[in-house]
Amino acid sequence: MHQPTPPAPGSGTFRADVEHGGIQFAVPLIMLAAGILTFVLIDRLVLHPVLGGGPGSDLRPFLRLVLSIVLAVSIGGGAEALLKRWWSSGRYLKLDPQGLIVQNKEQPPMRIDWDRRVNILRWRYSMQGYPRGGRERRVPTGHYLLACRLLQDDTVVIIHSFMPPNRAESVPNLTRYAVIEIATLFKGGLLNRMSYPDRPSIPADLLSGKQGQVWAAERERWVTGMELEPKAFVALTQVLEQRLPATLSQPAA
């Protein structure tokens, strides 16, 4: 998997949403096309010349199926790596010595300035015990979601990443990340587990409770959050700790 290069403390660019919807749609189609094509050609170009009508010819249907699946998965993996490298989501985070610039496709850029007060929220939760959809389906169970919201005047920036527990330990000041139980939002039952999960509404008692700001930020993340790869998230949060030590604020966990 292509990993972004961590920036220097004063500058750098992070690509957001590397596995965006376009790639998630394209890769299965590429795998399907590759599977069909290899299934058609593998017998004609490889199995028949090698095995012919000899003793191993009875294995040709089985080998044809297995090889076509293996090649389709390999081609799909290679295509995914190339697409991640060259097909951008159009969303970037750019650091300069004065602040953080957020570029989102055709929208005007937003900016967070280091020399002005920034309110920051941090939270995390374990990705298990609830049905997952979208990008989260591909994240292994037991990983953590870590998120951070920066607020300056009317500018709001939310970044997040998915990572295993041992990798999460490398996030600076992990203990400042409020822990929420996302599974409490989902109703149980067989029907819910079999259906495609939708984002649930967040009850009023959570929004008005002790962690209300965090729950409201999590709801906002579902719409505007920018996903970073783990290496990029750690690097960016390290910069935030260096640049904003006197302006950080966090609600009670």
Q: What is the pTM of this model?
A: 0.74
| Cβ proximity of 16 and 91 under 8 Å | yes
pLDDT digits (tens, 9 = 90+) for 85-115: 777 777 889 998 889 999 887 778 899 999 8
Write the pLDDT tens digit of every residue in 28-79: 888 998 888 888 888 777 776 766 666 666 677 788 888 889 988 998 888 8
Higher pLDDT, 88 or 3: 88
pLDDT category of residue 192 using cuts at 50, 70 and 90: very low
Please check whether residue 164 is in contact with residue 230, taking contact to mean a CB–CB distance below 8 angstroms. no
CA 147/CA 225 separation, integer angstroms: 9
How does DSSP classify residue 71? H
Handedness of CA 164, 169, 172, 177 (dihedral sign): positive
Would you place residue 245 in the very low, low, confident or very high pLDDT band (cuts 50, 70, 90)? low
Least confidently predicted of 9-13, 123-127, 160-164, 239-243: 9-13
174 touches 166 (CB < 8 A): no
Q: Tell me the average pLDDT across 141-157.
A: 93
Provide mean pLDDT across the span 119-139: 86
Which has more confidence, 19 or 156? 156
Structure confidence at residue 53 (pLDDT): 63
pLDDT confidence of residue 55: 66
pLDDT value of residue 11: 65
Task: Please report which confidence band the pLDDT of residue 152 belongs to, taking 50, 70 and 90 as the band edges.
Answer: very high
- In angstroms, the CA 74 to CA 72 distance is 5
- pLDDT tens digits, one per residue of 171-182: 988 999 999 999
Strands of 59-184 (E only): list them: 91-96, 99-104, 110-113, 119-126, 144-152, 155-163, 178-179
Question: Which range, of 47-51, 193-197, 210-214, averages the lowest pLDDT?
Answer: 193-197
Helix (H, G, I), strand (E, B) or coil at 8: strand
Exposed e or buried b per residue across 85-123, where buried means at least 16 C-beta atoms within 10 angstroms of its C-beta: eeebbebbbbbeeebbbbbbeeeeebebebeeebbbbbb
Greater model confidence, 58 or 150: 150
pLDDT of residue 122: 94
Instruction: Quickly state the pLDDT bin for 148 (edges 50, 70, 90).
Output: very high
